[in-house]
Amino acid sequence: MEIRKEEQTVILGGEMDLTQFMQVVRGKARVEFSEEYCTRVNRSRELVEQWTKEQRVMYGVTTGFGALCTKVISTEQTAQLQKNIVLSHSTSVGTPFTEEETRATMLMALQNLGQGYSGVRLLILERYRDFLNKNLIPYAPKEGSVGYLSPEAHMALVLIGEGKAYYEGKLMSGAEALEAAGLSPITLSSKEGLALVSGTTSVTGLGAIALHDLIQAAKSADVIAALTLEASKGIIRAFDERVMQVRPHKEQGATADTVRRILKDSEVIEFYKNSRLQDALSLRCVPQLHGAAKKTLYDAKRTLETEMNSCCDNPIIWPGEEDAEAISACNADSAYVGIEMDSCCIAATTLAKMSERRNNRMIDESLGGYPSFLIANPGLNSGLMIPQYTQAGLLNDMRILSTSATIDNTPTCGNQEDYVAMGYNASKKAITINEKLEYILAIELLSAYETQGFLKDGLHRSSVSRKIFEEIGGQVPLMKEDIFLYPHIEYLRNLIHSGRLLQITEEEIGPLA
C-alpha to C-alpha distance for 20 and 254, rounded to whole angstroms:
24
Is the peptide bond prior to 248 cis by the omega test (within 30 degrees of 0)? Answer: no
Angle between helices 463-473 and 486-497 (to 10 degrees): 130
What total of structural domains would you count in the chain? 2
C-alpha to C-alpha distance for 148 and 142, rounded to whole angstroms:
11
Same domain? For 278 and 169 the reply is no
Give the CATH number of the domain where residue 416 resides.
1.20.200.10
Is residue 332 exposed (0-12), middle (13-18) or buried (19+ Cβ within 10 Å)?
A: buried
Same domain? For 304 and 168 the reply is no
Same domain? For 319 and 254 the reply is yes
Domain-ending residue, one of 136, 168, 198 = 198
pLDDT, tens digit, 9 for 90 and up, residues 141-177: 999 998 888 999 999 999 999 999 999 999 999 999 9
pLDDT at 57 > cutoff 90: no
| Per-residue b or e along 104-127, where b marks 16 or more CB atoms closer than 10 Å to that residue's CB | bbbbbbbbbbbbbbbbbbbebbeb
Same domain? For 290 and 236 the reply is yes
Q: Say if CB 446 and CB 463 are below 8 A apart.
A: no
Give the CATH number of the domain where residue 46 resides.
1.10.275.10
pLDDT at 251 > cutoff 90: yes
**Helix, strand, coil share (%) of the chain residues, nearest 5:** 60, 10, 35
Is residue 81 exposed (0-12), middle (13-18) or buried (19+ Cβ within 10 Å)?
A: buried
pLDDT, tens digit, 9 for 90 and up, residues 416-465: 777 888 999 999 999 999 999 999 999 999 999 999 989 877 899 999 99
**What's the rounded mean pLDDT across residues 114-124?**
96
Which residues are registered as beta bridge partners of 32? 11
How many Cβ atoms sit within 10 Å of the Cβ of residue 322?
A: 4
pLDDT, tens digit, 9 for 90 and up, residues 383-425: 999 999 999 999 999 999 999 999 988 888 777 777 888 999 9
Q: Say if CB 439 and CB 485 are below 8 A apart.
A: no
Range of the domain at 13: 2-198
Phi, psi angles (nearest 5°) of residue 93? -135, 175
